[in-house]
């Protein structure tokens, strides 16, 4: 026999989504129908069961990952068009795309350091603005700063990567460079990479001088964090991305490019002090002309965060951003740390 009562009203009754007239209809029906009273009770229990399903614990890096992906995706779109056109499918945590996005954001921040960190670079004691926090905002002026800063002679963006301690670093880096068609320039003193290495070390030593001449800079050595390998690369952004992708391929945990661990270094070798071998050697300092590995000071991380925040606070005329050019050449010093 066909039921006259539309039983979907039971669900709506349960959800308090009925008009007064419908509610009255349901109440009258329930008073006469034992079966539907039973059904209503069961649906109520079922609703509670589903509502009681546990919450999920989102991965801790989710927010950061999403923001980076969104910034990268926005960069790919002309902002004017972005408001009216649908984007391409999102990165979906694709390792390749993620590394690229992270690199773009990180490089933008790092380039910003290059432009504003002059007091630090010159060893000056000028006060650094105390700004709490670090913003990953990819402001137009930062993007433009990267475009402006990257090709400058003697400037290098330092990227810090942390990888699994199980990774055979030296072989992996060589393989990654080879697949990307790159050679580590640090093996060739003529290209200036070794001068950059020496000047970089000198910058550290300037900030953390030894207690007395002739002694080891123990404060620096004790406070620093080991970088297992370091490699200087000058290449188009897209090619550099390939290197990072290769490094991350096959790893148990994705290669991390943490913007808070970025250091920017823009020392232009300045005469004899910046020449290979002329700077004071520390016990574990790099040797000019060799592939080099640095120790980085924890204090520098904190300093760099303040510099980064100050950089973000810099006001500059807004200019239209057309996105990163994958062929734009960048110079980076990749410090690879095993953890």
Partner 1 sequence: MIRAACQGDAAAFGALVSKYQARLCTSLTHVCGSLDDAEDVAQEAFVQAYVKLRSFAGGSAFYTWLYRIAVNAAISKRRRRREQTSVESKREELGLEPLDDGERADERLLREERAAQVQRALSKLSDEHRTILVLREIDDCDYDEIAQILELPVGTVRSRLHRARLQLKEQLDAVLNDRVLGETTKRA
Least distance CB 33 / partner 1 (angstroms): 16
- Give the residue with the Cβ less far from partner 1, 38 or 122: 38
- Give the residue with the Cβ less far from partner 1, 12 or 249: 12
Q: Locate 191 and state its tokens.
A: 């290209």
CB within 8 Å of 34: residues ≥ 6 apart: none
- Cβ neighbours around 67 below 10 Å, total: 15
Least distance CB 112 / partner 1 (angstroms): 14
Burial class (CB in 10 A: 0-12, 13-18, 19+), 27: exposed
- Give the residue with the Cβ less far from partner 1, 218 or 319: 319
Least distance CB 24 / partner 1 (angstroms): 17
Q: Locate 6 and state its tokens.
A: 């539309």
- Give the residue with the Cβ less far from partner 1, 43 or 182: 43
- Helix/strand/coil (H/E/C) assignment for every residue in 147-168: HHHCCCCCCEEEEEEEECCCCC
Least distance CB 105 / partner 1 (angstroms): 9
- Give the residue with the Cβ less far from partner 1, 136 or 159: 136
- Give the residue with the Cβ less far from partner 1, 93 or 329: 93
Are 36 and 10 within 8 A, CB to CB?
yes
Burial class (CB in 10 A: 0-12, 13-18, 19+), 230: buried
Measured between alpha carbons, how far is 241 from 230 in angstroms, rounded to an integer? 16
Least distance CB 82 / partner 1 (angstroms): 5
Measured between alpha carbons, how far is 225 from 257 in angstroms, rounded to an integer? 16
- Give the residue with the Cβ less far from partner 1, 73 or 174: 73
Least distance CB 94 / partner 1 (angstroms): 9
Least distance CB 304 / partner 1 (angstroms): 19
CB within 8 Å of 79: residues ≥ 6 apart: 321
DSSP letter at 267 equals P
Q: Which residues bind partner 1 (CB under 8 A)?
A: 7-8, 10-12, 15, 17, 42-43, 46-47, 49-59, 62-67, 69-71, 73-74, 77, 79, 82-84, 86-87, 89-93, 135-139
């Amino acid at each position: 026999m066909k039921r006259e009562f539309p039983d979907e009203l039971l669900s709506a009754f349960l959800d308090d989504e009925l008009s007064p007239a419908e509610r009255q209809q349901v109440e009258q029906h329930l008073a006469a129908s034992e079966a539907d009273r039973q059904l209503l009770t069961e649906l109520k229990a079922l609703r509670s069961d589903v509502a009681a399903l546990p919450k999920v614990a989102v991965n801790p890096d989710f927010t950061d990952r999403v923001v980076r992906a969104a910034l990268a995706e926005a960069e790919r779109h002309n902002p004017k068009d972005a408001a009216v056109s649908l984007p391409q499918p999102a990165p979906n945590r694709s390792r390749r795309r993620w590394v690229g996005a992270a690199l773009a954001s990180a490089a933008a921040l790092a380039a910003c350091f290059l432009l504003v960190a002059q007091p630090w670079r010159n060893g000056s004691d000028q006060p650094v603005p105390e700004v709490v926090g670090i913003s990953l905002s990819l402001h137009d002026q930062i993007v433009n700063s990267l475009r402006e800063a990257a090709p400058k002679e003697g400037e290098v963006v330092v990227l810090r990567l942390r990888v699994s301690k199980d990774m055979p670093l030296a072989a992996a880096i060589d393989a990654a460079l080879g697949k990307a068609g790159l050679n580590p320039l640090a093996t060739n003193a003529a290209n200036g990479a070794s001068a950059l290495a020496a000047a970089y070390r000198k910058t550290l030593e300037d900030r953390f001088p030894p207690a007395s001449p002739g002694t080891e800079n123990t404060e620096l050595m004790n406070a620093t964090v080991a970088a297992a390998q370091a490699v200087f690369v000058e290449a188009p952004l897209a090619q550099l991305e390939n290197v990072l992708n290769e490094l991350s391929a096959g790893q148990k945990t994705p290669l991390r490019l943490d913007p808070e661990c970025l250091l920017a270094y823009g020392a232009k070798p300045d005469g004899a002090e910046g020449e290979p071998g002329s700077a004071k050697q520390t016990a574990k300092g790099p040797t000019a002309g060799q592939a080099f590995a640095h120790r980085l000071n924890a204090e520098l991380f904190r300093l760099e965060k303040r510099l980064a925040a100050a950089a973000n606070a810099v006001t500059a005329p807004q200019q239209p951003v057309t996105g990163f050019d994958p062929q734009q050449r960048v110079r980076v010093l990749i410090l690879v740390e095993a953890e």
